[in-house]
Structure 1
Amino acid sequence: MRKIFLMAALLAGHLSVYATEGMWLPQLLTKLNEKEMKGMGMKISAADIYNLNKGSLKDAIVSFGGFCTGEIISSQGLLLTNHHCGYSAIQTHSSVEHNYLDNGFWAKNKAEELPNAGLTATFIVRIDDVTAEALRGVAGNLSESARQSAIDKNLNAIKANAKKETYQDALIKPFFDGNQYFLFITETYKDVRLVGAPPSSIGKFGADTDNWVWPRHTGDFSIFRIYAGKDNLPAEYSKDNVPLKPKHFLPISLDGIREDDFTMVFGFPGRTNEYLPSEAVKLTVEGQDPARVKMRDAALKVIDGFMRKDEKIKIQYAAKFASTANAWKKWIGEMQGVKQTNGIQRKLDFEKRFQQLAQGRPEYRGLLDSLNNLYKQQGPYAVSRDYYSELLRNTEMLGFANNLITALHDTRLKGADQWETIREQFLKKAKASYKDYNNDVDREVAAVLLDIYFEGVPSSRIGGEGYQVWMETNKDGKTTAGKLYSQSALVSYEKLEAFVNRPFQQVSADVWKDPATKLLIGLRNGYTDFVNKPYDELQPEINRLQRRYMQAQMDLVKDKRFYPDANSTLRLTYGKVNGYAPRDAVEYDFATTLDGVMEKYKPGDYEFDVPEKLRQLHASKDYGPYGANGKMPVCFIASNHTTGGNSGSPALDAYGNLIGLNFDRTWEGTMSDINYDAAICRNIMVDIRYVLFIVDKFAGAKHLVDEMKLVHPKKGAKPVLKKAS
């Protein structure tokens, strides 16, 4: 009955929601979306997207490393994803002598392709609804912990009995806040090699200034290849492995895009919260986002100053800076977007309607008020949590100290005789982290972030131990950092190694003497007792009421179509190629060209420099078969509903051909994770023709293009290309 109820709720009200909103499960497209998609222009069937009996689009889509999406674009396992998704791998292979970040990398043959330890590509084999089995025996008034314990037991049994091959894995995820569960059978390939990447002046053109901004001119792509054992099955890295023979790979359309073209984005979106109550949205954009932005803004300014002066530091901190800046700018856009679209008031208007509908259902009366009140209570602790997590994330020495204290804590739980094993695991991770660590940079970051932390978090939630250290250093970040970074054993891997390569009891005693670990212990104890504990005490009831509120919305609001929030599982979203008008007197077109790259060109600038060869190709208009009407297309936008994790997702045309590579959203629409608005929410994609142009004409790697299947689905129709304002 629960399954039937949920499906009915999903089916209801197709006409009352924006046609482009939603992240849909591919196995349900036939029932829920196919008719609408065809009405919008789709030429294939839902069975061509998800099929268990033959190769389909799903078989060309992978979870890249568990943090991005990639797609297979040749019969030899060639994989396309974003440059920023492959950035860490590119950085790992880079050095001052071989700076692949600055100069790019192109393997001339398969023997030159570079292996990447730990990098994986995961395919989805099938998706099954296991709601009935997952929720068996959890009815009644169970506590949240007892309910979850019963569900976990059920899930373990489901996974143990799941029909799969020995080389496949089983994953179960909750949907609709735990009202529904799906089983995913997966295949993970562990030999993924770097094939090609443009220089950052192309792959990261515009860098942080243009991040989340339209018009965009970034060639954000990199190319890898999946290798398998000789049986075509997943295998650990071996020089004897062979390129994967995929069940399906994506043909590539050279016909380009037109305004109002139907588009699809297929990938693994990370996390959205579309069904939160108003107080939760208010907490996000008025409490948590400002705290996180303030901490990262200060850290980024310090790191940027060092990176601009020192080439080695630039390489060391490139990936960390990009990761930090990405979320920082996203949160700024989220705050602005919710305000601009009056998102909180829209939530309040919906809640007013919900309350009216709930009057006729006694089990739902008071539910929303109780949930909103809990978010109000949790708010101060949530903001303090973010200050603490940002301090440890962005101050690396405190992060190292936290890892050390955790290792000591684990040893106490498991016994001192386990210290040697735990220590070696700790040192192995620490050594990798110190490779890209600079003591001078981190000291300056710590100085500014400590000031912000002790100003932003009330002393009652910091605790006496941490505040005592702060008082001993005159309540001044610079003074505190000076002491930490001149006296701590954590200033280098060598000193840390010497510090921990001693008996467990001695190390446990001396962490109270080291200034970095002493401060961390004080802050951690205060955080645990006065922030995390009260936060966690409220969370089970919030989870329970949020689950009931989700069910109540689907039960009561019959004219609204509900899709599950993103949770890093395979989803398809669809929309159309369109521009947008974000504010008064500003209207954006839907596509950009190489002309715009040259307009932004600043010689020697780390964000807007342009390689000489690309300037020459532009000057001579040598675009090969990839240009259109004397222009070289670069990026375009559409109304597909995307989020983090969709980076690297393929943009597909009405026939299922690859037309672009998703890599970003417009700044005004970054609030789509909590407040989707079709008027301004747009995803940004690299035009696949620009990718091919860079590979072929710029990099001279036409052998890669020759691997691909190029098609002309529009049968010679001339693409219409406009330039963004």
Structure 2
Amino acid sequence: MKKIILSLIMAVMLVPTSVKADEGMWFLMFIERLNHRDMQKMGLQLTSEEIYSINNSSIKDAIVQFNGGCTAEIISNQGLVLTNHHCGYDAIAEVSTPEANYLRDGFWAKDKKAEIKPNSLYVRFFVRMDDVSKRILGKLNASMTEAERNKAIQQESALIEKENNESGKYTVSVRPFFQGNEFYYFVYQDFKDVRLVGTPPESVGKFGGDTDNWEWPRHTGDFSMFRVYTDKDGNPAEYSENNIPMKPKHHLPISLKGVQENDFAMILGYPGRTNRWMPAGGIEQNVKFAYPAWVEGSKTGMDAMKVHMDKSDQVRLDYASKYASVANYWKNRQGMIDALTKFKTAATKAKAEADFNKWANKAENKAKYGNVVATINKFYAATNEKARHDNYLTSVLRNSNFGAGPSSLGQGIEYYIAQNDAKKAEVLPQLQEGINETYNGLYLPLERDVLIAELNLYNKKAGYPVAPYVAELAKANGGDFTKFVDDAFASSIFTSKEKVLAFLKNPNVDQLKEDKLYQLSSSLLTTYRAKSEELVKLDNDYQTSFRLLVEGLRESKLNKIQYPDANSTLRLSYGKVRSLPADKRNDAKINNYTTLQGTIKKYKPNDQEFDLPKRLIELNEKKDFGQYADKAGYMPVNFLTDNDITGGNSGSPVLNGKGELIGLAFDGNIEAMAGDVIFDPKLQRTINVDIRYVLFIIDKYAGAKHIIDEMTIVK
């Protein structure tokens, strides 16, 4: 334990303390030295030990990573989990049917026996972290290529992970920070028996749809509820009727006090990725080459999907999660293009890099840093067109199940064919499971149209040599892939589960390799992964130079950013409840919250995005808000803070100065969409669901007061 404490003290001493209060996503282990005093001045009433403790229960024990992509929090002593509706969307859609459509109609388990177990869903608890920079950097030297460096890092990381997993009890992950200048390991514990407890109807949980996504004012009840189960001794366990609700180390109390302008707000969660250290050339490449291709490819896939989703409830259910994910990033990337262009972010970064280049070429720095900026700029100049191509290609792979699927499945079949009889018997169940997952909910008419549209776009717009098989087909078909896809769907073994299983009874490698969808998919993936010798060299030099750029910027203190980019590790951000300028679209007295009355004003009967349940409208008319109304009499829905968050923070708890839950984060504002690259203190806002609206929906709308009763409510 002394060793752990010493490493913590040394780590925080290495981090500068001159930071802006509301900017940054911070490691919990740095709170005491780095942020605690600032946070106290803003309204925090907790000790750092109450937020992050290795030996005692603390707030960090109530924060979980939800299914690998979102954040959630434990809000009762019976393992009740709260996260966003859009984070639970996959699981809700999975357990829904056209007859019992929980996505459309909502669901509230009347008791624990009625809670529903989705097939694949888990939560990850953070146990502890520590700095292993000295140990790993000691295995590296400047003469190594990037491949050699990465191999050495992986080898040492594997040892560290094995040393700390306690014979498999924990999941341990060593992660790089500051572009590989520092390394930390993180210890987690995963729980896989997680069951659906409750969700509002989609007309509440996704109110506003794509139109309101990334916008303010917002009126969305973006939440869903689950429960973690353990074995009788409190350990992680596979699903069993004998499992019991978790008894967590800590659960968050819930405040009904509400929020006011300038109230302290703290968010803990798992932000996915930021690029605050990205060079100017990378920003320019994204804005002009990569993101426009991403946006166009996404919209192409969405349009093709929606035609079929609008015609069938079953198809809409099967593709709801995929469509929502594509749509979310489509609007995000367009917002990034607009914001980064408007604020001339690349130019700002280029000026900072010019200042760095002057410092780097001073006599005492030149040997190490002199060529850094030139090397980085050379890389981006050489890869701009490839970035455009790769994003069009990725759209085929991402949006069509026949982009990557046949190749991945086909390789599994090839492996199966090559085995002896005993090994085949061992491999077959896993292969069959993969086949079942691949074809679950697949709708061929939709897949046909998506694949045709994406291939036509990729071939036409890539601006870089396309996959060889695609080029061959385009030449033969005049750039229109309709006939090829129709012929391939008619002849391929990969268009249905039944065809694949029939092929497995008498498999033939030659027949497999002649399959048109297998050839297409293999060509796409081979092209996606391919790197010429020239590109390998450019990439190697770039990675080295980017790492040196970050190291030099920190050494020279020419960059105000002194926190590492987000990378799906637990972080804390803090700020205040903070309004935006007055907006006539918002009926609130101050533009930092929205109301149920404002929600009703957006109501459009039978509209896919703005419909509302009749009961919600009736409750508003009667002002039947129970104990959840604001003291001013209105029913709050959403509110704004200026916390620094990004994707992955969805579902993160918003806490007041006492560590009580006041809301959960679910979005950012489109005006600050450049926030993943550069933080703007004037524009940056986090959009949160007011916890009082969450409780109101559960209690007054759904009548599920038994769920409220297990929470710790602070009035």
Name the CA shift for 1:543/1:3 in 2 (closer, same or farther; >3 Å).
farther
Q: AA paired with 1:332?
A: Q
Are residue 395 (structure 1) and residue 400 (structure 2) matched?
A: yes
Structure 2 residue aligned with 1:436, among 432, 441, 462? 441
Q: Is the 8 A contact 1:459 1:467 kept in 2?
A: no
Please, which of 138, 141, 144 is the counterpart of residue 139 of structure 1? Answer: 141
Distance 1:574 1:622 in 2: 34
Partner of 1:315 in structure 2?
A: 317
Q: Given the superposition, is the C-alpha separation of residues 515 and 336 from structure 1 closer, same or farther in structure 2, using an over 3 Å criterion?
A: same
- Read off the aligned partner of 2:473 and give its amino acid letter: V
The answer to whether the 8 A contact 1:9-1:561 is kept is: no
Q: Distance in 1 between matches of 2:653 and 2:143?
A: 45
Shift of 1:366: 2.3
Q: Does 1:547 align with 2:547?
A: yes
Out of 352, 367, 377, the residue aligned to residue 372 of structure 1 is 377
Indicate whether 1:151 and 2:156 are aligned.
no
The answer on 1:566 being equivalent to 2:563 is no
Q: Tell me, in whole angstroms, the C-alpha distance in 2 between the residues paired with 1:271 and 1:310.
A: 36
Deviates more, 1:289-298 or 1:517-526: 517-526
> What is the root-mean-square deviation in Å for CA atoms of aligned residues?
2.6
Partner of 2:255: 253
1:381 Cα deviation after fit: 2.2
Secondary structure class of the residue paired with 2:257: coil
One-letter amino acid of the counterpart of residue 553, structure 2: Q
- What are the superposed Cα offsets for residues 571-592 of structure 1, whole Å, 9 maximum, x if unpaired? 0011111123599999991111
For 1:243 and 1:22, how far apart are their aligned partners in 2?
35
Residue identity opposite 2:140 in structure 1: V
Any conservation in 2 of the 1:13–1:561 contact (CA below 8 Å)? no
**How far did 1:168 drift?**
2.3
Hey, what's the Cα distance between the residues in 1 that align with 2:34 and 2:505?
A: 60
CA-CA distance at 1:8 after TM superposition? 5.8
The 5 Å alignment of 1:48-67 reads 48-67=50-69
For residues 120-135 of structure 1, the aligned pairs below 5 Å read: 120-135=122-137
Q: Which residue of 2 aligns with 1:193?
A: 195
In 2, Cα distance between the equivalents of 1:484 and 1:539? 37
Superposed CA deviations along residues 208-234 of structure 1, whole A, max 9, x for unmatched, are: 111111111111111111111111121
Once the two structures are TM-superposed, the CA of residue 392 in structure 1 deviates from its matched residue by 1.6
Which deviates more, 129-138 or 249-258?
129-138
1:453 corresponds to 2:454 = no
The letter of the residue matching 2:578 is: N
Gaps of 5+ in 1: 713-725
CA deviation digits over 1:140-188, x for unaligned, max 9? 4122222222222222222232374752232211111111111212111
Separation (CA, whole Å) in 2 of partners of 1:595 and 1:263: 25
Q: Does 1:580 align with 2:580?
A: yes
Q: Counterparts of 2:694 and 2:512 in 1: how far apart (Å)?
A: 52
Q: What's the secondary structure of 1:124's corresponding residue? A: strand
**2:474 is matched with which residue?**
470
Distance (Å, rounded) in 2 between the aligned partners of 1:420 and 1:332: 49
Contact 1:400 1:430 in 2 (8 A): no
What is the CA-CA distance between 1:54 and the residue it aligns to? 1.7
1:171 aligns with: 173
Alignment of 1:599-678 (within 5 A): 599-628=601-630, 629-678=632-681
CA contact (8 A) 2:22 2:573 kept: yes
Question: CA offsets, 1:389-415, max 9 Å, x none?
Answer: 211221222332222343256568978
Deviation at residue 20 of structure 1 after TM alignment = 1.3
Q: Which one of the candidate residues 382, 386, 390 is aligned to 2:391?
A: 386
Is the CA contact (8 Å cut-off) linking 2:195 and 2:226 kept in structure 1? yes
SS at match of 1:602: coil
Kindly state the Cα deviation for residue 696 of structure 1 after the two structures are TM-superposed: 0.2
Q: Is the 8 A contact 2:582 2:591 kept in 1?
A: no
- Other-structure match for 2:236: 234
Cα distance in 1 for residues equivalent to 2:248 and 2:528: 49
- CA change 1:130–1:207 in 2 (3 A) is same
In structure 2, the residue matched to 1:280 is: 282
Distance 2:465 2:649 in 1: 40
Q: Aligned pair in 2 of structure 1 residues 408, 548: CA closer, same or farther (>3 Å)?
A: farther
Q: What CA distance in whole angstroms lies between the structure 2 residues aligned with 1:545 and 1:671?
A: 24
Cα gap change, 1:25 to 1:528, in 2 (>3 Å): closer
Structure 1 stretch displaced more, 396-405 or 413-422 = 413-422
User: Cα distance 1:523–1:571, how it changes in 2: closer, same or farther (>3 A)?
Assistant: closer
Q: Is the 8 A contact 1:381 1:532 kept in 2?
A: no
SS in structure 1 at match of 2:179 = helix
> Aligned letter for 2:384?
G
Deviates most, 492-501 or 197-206? 492-501
- Work out the CA distance in 1 between the residues paired with 2:450 and 2:131: 48
Superimposed CA distance per residue, residues 270-308 of structure 1 (whole angstroms, 9 cap, x where no aligned partner): 111110110011111211111111011011112122222
The aligned amino acid for 1:407 is: G
Q: Distance between the aligned counterparts of 1:566 and 1:321, measured in 2? A: 26
SS in structure 2 opposite 1:566?
coil
Task: Name the TM-score, length of structure 2 as normaliser.
Answer: 0.93
Given that 2:60 and 2:126 are in contact with CA atoms closer than 8 Å, whether structure 1 keeps it comes out as: yes
Q: Structure 2 CA distance, aligned partners of 1:638 and 1:414?
A: 58
Contact 2:386 2:464 (C-alpha < 8 Å) held by counterparts: no
Change over 3 Å in CA distance of 1:421–1:381 after alignment to 2 = farther
Q: CA distance change for structure 1 residues 525 and 231 in 2, over 3 Å: closer, same or farther? A: closer
TM-score w.r.t. the length of structure 1 is 0.92
Q: Which runs of 5+ in 2 are unaligned?
A: 1-5
Does structure 1 residue 497 correspond to structure 2 residue 498? no
- C-alpha deviation, 1:671, in angstroms: 2.1
Aligned with residue 485 of structure 1, among 463, 472, 489: 489
Distance 1:183 1:618, change over 3 A: same
Q: Residue type of the partner of 1:568?
A: S
Match of 1:519 in 2: 520
Q: Deviations over 1:500-540 (max 9, x none)?
A: 4323xx2x2123433322333444444455x6776555333
**Shift in Å, 1:56:** 0.8
AA matched with 1:497: L
Residue aligned with 1:645, SS: coil
Contact 2:122 2:192 survives alignment (8 Å): yes
In 1, Cα distance between equivalents of 2:81 and 2:529:
43
Give the structure 1 partner of residue 3 of structure 2.
Answer: none
Shift of 1:417: 8.1
Cα distance in 1 between the residues matched to 2:75 and 2:198: 14
Contact 1:398–1:517 (8 Å) recurs in 2: no
Match of 1:690 in 2: 693
Cα distance between partner residues in 2 of 1:281 and 1:52? 39
Query: Are positions 1:78 and 2:76 aligned together?
Result: no
**2: CA distance, partners of 1:534 / 1:327:** 31
Over 3 Å counting, the alpha-carbon distance change for 1:217 and 1:138 in structure 2 is: same
Aligned AA for 2:653? Answer: P
Mean alpha-carbon deviation: is it higher for 133-142 or for 388-397? 133-142
Distance in 2 separating the partners of 1:154 and 1:620: 64
Does the 8 A contact of 2:12 with 2:30 survive in 1?
Answer: no
Moved more, 401-410 or 415-424: 415-424
User: Structure 1 residue 635: deviation in Å?
Assistant: 0.5
**Contact residue 603 and residue 610 of structure 1 kept, 8 A:** yes
Tell me how far 1:602 sits from its aligned partner: 0.9
Q: Residues 20-59 of structure 1: matches in 2 within 5 Å?
A: 20-59=22-61
Distance in 1 separating the partners of 2:213 and 2:356: 37
Q: Match for 1:657: what amino acid?
A: E
Measure, in 2, the Cα distance between the counterparts of 1:525 and 1:137: 33
Deviation, 1:80, is 0.4
The alignment of Structure 1 onto Structure 2 pairs a total of residues equal to 704
Please give the secondary structure, in 2, of the residue aligned with 1:10: coil
2:549 aligned counterpart, secondary structure: helix
Query: How many Å apart are 1:356 and its aligned residue?
Result: 2.7
Identity %: 37
Question: What amino acid sits opposite 1:518 in the alignment?
Answer: Q
- Secondary structure of 2:68's counterpart equals coil
Contact kept, 8 Å, 2:7 with 2:131, in 1: the verdict is no
Name the SS for the 1:33 alignment partner.
helix
